[in-house]
């Protein structure tokens, strides 16, 4: 959790600014707020890092991806290609908008592959929701021709990839709209927060309306504002934005330290030829929040994970059994257990989620062990972690 490692006087100062005015609401109250606009400053810092023309801070990354989908025109009955490896919020957002998730294969980038997208296409496919996972990025040179060939809408969930880029373009900015998460576990945190980004003015204005009950935010009297569209409440508070602002300013430093520490760890682990690494489509664009190890086969990874647990080695995820990020454990989606009926339960789906055949994804995630990179590690801590990982991996070799 790199962002939380660097909590300090900067966050306290930004929070104090808000508390001194007493205005926790992000809009209006101009005469009382002493020109303190933390949400706006937060958005500007995100724009500086990503190069986005427009950014809108919202209450969380889930709201950000829902806004990105909605303002890109995704709605009831639209088929949206999605990956089986993502925070479940991505799938929830598609479902809540009434659209139909269509799962496709990922590759060794841990993201949707161009061939996976091609194979999942149907005559009703409208969009691809591309998720940039574990601090890295999808192979955009192979994916964008598929998007253009089939005239698809591209929406990006870069919740785990703020600060990452592909050949100079930030994740989240290849499609019509994108999203980032600033929850407690990200490279920068607002506690709870998210940011919608786009380079299209019309899409931004729709998001600005959509995320605040349809308000147009014109004028100084909220009660007299017009409502161009129907929206909902995805606003961020000034307190959360204050934390996000201070944290986002630290991202260039965090990213640089992450990259240095990750490089050292890779060098130490590379002595074991059975330890490989997930492919970075653009190594120069890595946010380096995760070291993604690919073992030779799932059984090797499973037994290594058992050894890591037995030896008290922490700080890793074995996504194959993770309840939150991989489709194997999403029984509530496979069985469509809902609080109230969703459009998909009326319209039906092109796939039976309980019988999906995604062998490439199963093998990749079965082989994957991800370690969170810390920007505050010392060289000694990195060396000790590498020794622990090597010890646990080498103990498996004779048995597999």
Per the document, the length of the chain is 400
CA 114 to each of CA 88, 117, 142, 278: distance values in angstroms, whole numbers, following the listed order: 21, 5, 6, 17
194: nearest Cα among 207, 176, 213: 207
For residues 117 and 106, give the distance between their C-alpha atoms in angstroms, rounded to a whole number. Answer: 9
CA 203 to each of CA 2, 64, 68, 355: distance values in angstroms, whole numbers, following the listed order: 31, 13, 8, 36
Q: Is 186 a catalytic residue?
A: yes
Residue 294's DSSP bridge partners are 276, 368
For residues 87 and 284, give the distance between their C-alpha atoms in angstroms, rounded to a whole number. Answer: 25
65: nearest Cα among 108, 20, 101, 29: 101
Which of 186, 250, 257, 262 is catalytic? The answer is: 186
Structure tokens at 333: 């989606």
Measured at the CA of 57, the angle between CA 281 and CA 231, to 5 degrees, comes to: 110
Q: What is the DSSP letter of 212?
A: B
Question: Which residues are catalytically annotated?
Answer: 186
């Amino acid at each position: 959790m790199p962002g939380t490692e660097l909590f300090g006087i900067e966050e306290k100062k930004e929070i104090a600014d808000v508390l001194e005015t007493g205005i926790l609401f992000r809009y209006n109250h101009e005469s009382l707020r002493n020109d303190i606009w933390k949400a706006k400053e937060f958005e500007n810092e995100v724009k500086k890092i990503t190069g986005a023309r427009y950014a809108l801070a919202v209450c969380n990354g889930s709201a950000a991806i829902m806004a990105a989908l909605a303002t890109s025109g995704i709605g009831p009955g639209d088929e949206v290609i999605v990956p089986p490896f993502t925070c479940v919020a991505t799938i929830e957002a598609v479902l809540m908008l009434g659209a139909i998730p269509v799962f496709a294969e990922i590759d060794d980038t841990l993201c949707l592959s161009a061939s996976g997208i091609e194979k999942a296409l149907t005559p009703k496919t409208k969009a691809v929701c591309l998720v940039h996972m574990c601090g890295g990025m999808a192979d955009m040179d192979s994916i964008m021709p598929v998007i253009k060939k089939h005239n698809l809408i591209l929406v990006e969930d870069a919740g785990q990839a703020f600060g990452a880029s592909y050949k100079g373009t930030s994740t989240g900015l290849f499609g019509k709209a994108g999203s980032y998460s600033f929850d407690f576990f990200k490279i920068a945190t607002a506690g709870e927060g998210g940011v919608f980004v786009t380079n299209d003015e019309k899409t931004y204005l729709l998001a600005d309306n959509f995320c605040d009950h349809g308000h147009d935010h014109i004028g100084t009297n909220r009660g007299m504002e017009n409502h161009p569209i129907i929206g909902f409440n995805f606003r961020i508070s000034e307190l959360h934005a204050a934390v996000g602002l201070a944290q986002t300013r630290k991202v260039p430093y965090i990213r640089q330290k992450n990259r240095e520490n990750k490089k050292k760890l890779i060098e130490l682990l590379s002595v074991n030829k059975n330890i490989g690494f997930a492919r970075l489509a653009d190594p120069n664009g890595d946010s380096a929040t995760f070291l993604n190890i690919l073992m030779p086969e799932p059984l090797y990874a499973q037994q290594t994970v058992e050894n890591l647990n037995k030896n008290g080695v922490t700080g890793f995820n074995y996504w194959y059994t993770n309840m939150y990020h991989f489709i194997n454990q999403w029984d509530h989606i496979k069985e469509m257990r809902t609080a109230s009926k969703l459009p998909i339960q009326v319209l039906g789906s092109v796939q039976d989620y309980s019988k999906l055949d995604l062998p490439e994804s199963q093998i990749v995630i079965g082989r994957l062990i991800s370690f969170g990179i810390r920007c505050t590690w010392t060289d000694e801590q990195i060396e000790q972690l590498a020794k622990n990982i090597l010890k646990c991996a080498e103990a498996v070799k004779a048995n597999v």
